[in-house]
Chains A and B, each alone.
Chain A
Amino acid sequence: DAGITQSPRHKVTETGTPVTLRCHQTENHRYMYWYRQDPGHGLRLIHYSYGVKDTDKGEVSDGYSVSRSKTEDFLLTLESATSSQTSVYFCAISDLGQDYEQYFGPGTRLTVT
């Protein structure tokens, strides 16, 4: 299995609080992605990174920001959490980009009350 970890694995937070999720990889892959998965919607891309300090928006980026200061870490921040951001968040990595295979972390289950 690819070396990808996510932390925390579960989090419950209140509306309006900031939340940061961490994705850590040991594969030295260039590309990293954040997705959310909700019933009926499948996986939707939030943001992705194509290198250190290089990021771009995905399909559902509103309310989220990301940062990548090191190859191995990709952080997802919810500036002010809302109930609509209750979801399961998956990080993924890829060596060659969006047109190639991705490998997923175990996910973070976030509940915003």
Chain B
Amino acid sequence: RKEVEQDPGPFNVPEGATVAFNCTYSNSASQSFFWYRQDCRKEPKLLMSVYSSGNEDGRFTAQLNRASQYISLLIRDSKLSDSATYLCVVPPGSSASKIIFGSGTRLSIRP
């Protein structure tokens, strides 16, 4: 099993739809998780941090399932500006390991 795995997509959904995608991880020592958003040819930007079971920020909800070792990102009422690649990040949780970035899920919102 890869350390961090994301469905690469692309997810192509209409404006206003709800879309969700998952990220599975293998390092059970990780305590915190992050979702970053990356626009084409730009740097990743922090979208959400997940330190406990979940986090909500406006139209975005991140949830953590420690038993099954995955985190999810839900986007409600999607906007054209949500089109981007979403990166899942799993920090090491110990000094013996290193941070791992998922390869990203590409989301395209159509009018």
Separation of A36 and B91 alpha carbons in the complex (Å): 17
Query: Are A43 and B45 interface neighbours, CB within 8 A?
Result: no
Query: Are A99 and B44 interface neighbours, CB within 8 A?
Result: no
Binding site for B on A (CB under 8 A): 33, 35, 40-45, 58-59, 90, 98-107
Query: Are B34 and A42 interface neighbours, CB within 8 A?
Result: no
Query: Are A98 and B49 interface neighbours, CB within 8 A?
Result: no
Binding site for A on B (CB under 8 A): 30-32, 34, 42-46, 49, 87, 89, 91-93, 98-99, 101-104
Q: Is the interface of B mostly helix, strand, loop or mixed?
A: loop
B40 to chain A, nearest CB (A): 12
A66 to chain B, nearest CB (A): 15
Separation of A42 and B90 alpha carbons in the complex (Å): 13
B99 to chain A, nearest CB (A): 5
Neighbouring B residues of A104 by C-beta, 8 Å: 43-45
Query: Are B99 and A98 interface neighbours, CB within 8 A?
Result: yes
Residue in A35, A59, A100, A105 whose CB lies within 8 Å of B91: A100
Separation of A98 and B43 alpha carbons in the complex (Å): 18
User: Which of B31, B34, B89, B99 has the largest number of chain A CB atoms within 10 A?
Assistant: B99
